[in-house]
Amino acid sequence: MKLSFRRRLISVGVAIGALTLVGAGIGTAQASTAQHSRPASVKPTVVLVHGAWADGSSWDKVAAKLQHDGYRVVTPPNLLSGVANDAASLRAYLDTITGPVVLVGHSYGGMVITNAALGDKQVKALVYVDAYIPDQHDTVYSLTSAVPGSVFAAEASTVFDQVAIPGGDPHYPNLYVKPSVFGKAFADKSIPAKDVAVLAARQRPLAYSALVEESGEPAWRTIPSWSVIGKQDAVIPAAQQIAMSKRAKAHTVEINAPHLSMVTDAGAVTNQIEAAAKATN
């Protein structure tokens, strides 16, 4: 009986020792794996900034595609009150985001992101979608009229309905695009007339001061940029977009689209945004 008991103790000891060795092996393997594995790269947050006479819904198709591909997407409101104030508001929003950012602007949103991103180390890429890419001292008006072809390079009273801002300077009213001009400026036959009518009906006004306020030092001098150029754009002619993109040394793609390319060609716009995002990793 004593011999049998001793044998049992030996057997248990051997078993415990074997488990200890196996456990040590597992621990070593895990440590080895941990040492040689690399942490997965973090996808940047994509911040989509809408243009004048619009709201964040203009990005809905692109936002859905980006989210499907695993990106965090936010579309903060653009105040449309003037370049400096709008850029400061966006910068305050960017300061709440942790981690890398790809900052995207459409149309007037390009003016805003160019100023908001200056000196922001979290912003790894700028993407301009049928957008203004201003240099210092440029204005929306000067860039719009730089080459022929823009619907808005005309007397303001012929393209805009003007509404006074209560308590504001009467010379700097809010501007709404006339319904008769809206479709010519923003859309083409790829957007049904009934949808264009809805967009015109719910447009948000742009302060006149936003057209004539000078842009500051551009963030694209220090942050890599990408652009999407709609060759049928009637707001910012393609020739002007190409000139601005070259000046900013942007990675450029040209597509056969109107000013609202993120609505008519969401896939192409998304691809360019994701190209910028992947380049930040």
pLDDT of 228 > 70? The answer is yes
What is the pLDDT of the chain when averaged over all its residues? 88
pLDDT at 250 over 60: yes
The predicted-structure confidence for 199-209, as pLDDT tens digits, reads as follows: 999 999 999 99
Q: Check if 107 is active-site.
A: yes
Which of residues 42 and 62 earns the better pLDDT score? 62
Catalytic residue among 58, 107, 225, 261: 107
Q: Record the tokens describing residue 47, joined without a space.
A: 């911040």
Give the model's confidence band at 42: pLDDT under 50 very low, under 70 low, under 90 confident, else very high.
confident
Cβ–Cβ < 8 Å for 163, 176: yes
